[in-house]
Amino acid sequence: MAEERKEDWWKDKAWITQYLFKGEEPTAFDLLGAFVCNIVMGSPEAILIAGNMPPRLIHFVVNHPKRGSESIVLMMTPVAVFEGEPEEEPDLGLEIDYYKFAAMLGGKEDVMDMVWSGEVTMSGNTVVGMDLKDLLDASIGKEIIERPAAWTIGVP
């Protein structure tokens, strides 16, 4: 995560710069958009996993130390990202620091580990958190944890 705190950190990240102009530090929305377009879409495993999930609505509240908090929504199956509060009740709410968010999307931090350490506040359906972890893991080519039958991929 230290990497993400450096000045102009995003300029070295191909997955971000391919999607964005380099001038301004990207917003969380930009990051999520870049992640979906450049990483998820590029990974057949991630697409396969996302395809097996029921519809999911994840609400991120990303806190930037200077810009304040930003609200973004990730919808899965099919994937969509938009800014603002969701109109419907989200399946999962995550409150996360901006730089941790960037590290998580970059594959440097594990979302569930951050939950257990208290760095991420998670509320809602924990199964969706596991779905998100699988999606993140699959997109960076990490092996997916085989889930117990009760909470297997696709279970609401």
Partner 1 sequence: MAEKTKSEYVPNIYPGKDTVSARRKKLWDKSRPLLKYRSIAEDDITQLLSHRAVRSAYVSVHPPLEELIEPYDPIKHIVVPTPGTRAGDRIRFIQMSDSFHLPSIAPFGRQRLYFSRFRGIDTVVYSGREILEMRERDLEKATKMLLETEIFNPGRSALKGITVHGHSLRLDENGLMFDARRRYIYDKDSGEVVYIKDQMGNVLDVPVPVGPPLSEEDCKKLCLTYSWDTQPYKARTELFEMMSRSTKMRVMAGFNPEMINESM
Partner 2 sequence: MGEELSEEERIKRFVEERKKKAGEERTKESGMSARERDYTRELYRASQKFIDIEKGRDIYQTMKEIWGAEPLYEVDEKMYHRGGYRQSIRKKEFIDAGKQIAIKRGLPSYSRAVGLPVGQRMLEPMPVGKWGITIEQDDSHHMNNTAIQQLNDDIKRTVIMNLDLAHRMLQVRVGKEVTPETLNFYMETLQHTMGAGAVAQEHMNEVNPYLVKDAWAKIITGSDEIMDGLDQRYYIHIDELFHPDRAKALKEAIGDSIWVVFRVPTLAMRMGDGECTGRWAAMQNTMAFISAYQLSGEHVISDLAYAFKHARVIHMGDKLWGSRVRGRNEIGGIPDGFIPDIIQCERDLPLMPYVEYMTQDDAAASKAMTRMSEGIGGIAAMLDNTLWLGFYMSGGIGFSNTVATSALSGGANEDVLSEFSNLGAKYLRGKLIPAKWDIMKVMLNMVATYVIETYEKFPTLAELHWGGAHKTSIMGTVGAGVSAMLTGSSTMGLWAGNYTIASAMKEGWLRTGWAGQEIQDHMGMPYLCSFRPEEGNLTEMHGENYPMHSFSAGHGNQRAAANYGAMMGRGSAWCLSPVVKVAFADPHLAFDFRRPRYCIAKAGIKEFMPDGERTAITPACDILDRGILKDTMKEIPF
User: Which residues of the shown chain bind partner 1 in the complex (CB under 8 A)?
Assistant: 88-93, 123-127, 156
Distance of closest approach, residue 98 Cβ to partner 2, in angstroms: 12
Distance of closest approach, residue 64 Cβ to partner 2, in angstroms: 9
> How far apart (Å, rounded) are the C-alpha atoms in residues 97 and 31?
13
Distance of closest approach, residue 59 Cβ to partner 1, in angstroms: 8
> How far apart (Å, rounded) are the C-alpha atoms in residues 120 and 112?
8
Contact positions vs partner 2 (CB under 8 A): 24, 27, 29, 54-57, 66-68, 70, 75, 80, 82-84, 86-89, 112, 115-118, 121-123, 125-127, 129-130, 145-152, 154-156
Distance of closest approach, residue 145 Cβ to partner 1, in angstroms: 20
- For 79, the token pair is 């994937």
CB 84 within 8 A of CB 32: no
Of 14 and 24, nearer to partner 2 (C-beta) is 24
CB under 5 to 8 A by kind: which of partner 1, partner 2, none does 93 bind? partner 1
Distance of closest approach, residue 139 Cβ to partner 1, in angstroms: 24
CB under 5 to 8 A by kind: which of partner 2, partner 1, none does 92 bind? partner 1
> How far apart (Å, rounded) are the C-alpha atoms in residues 83 and 99?
18
Of 39 and 153, nearer to partner 1 (C-beta) is 153
> How far apart (Å, rounded) are the C-alpha atoms in residues 4 and 43?
23
CA 56 to chain centre: 13
3-state secondary structure of 85: coil
Q: In terms of DSSP bridges, do strands 80-83 and 92-97 run parallel, antiparallel, or are they unpaired?
A: unpaired
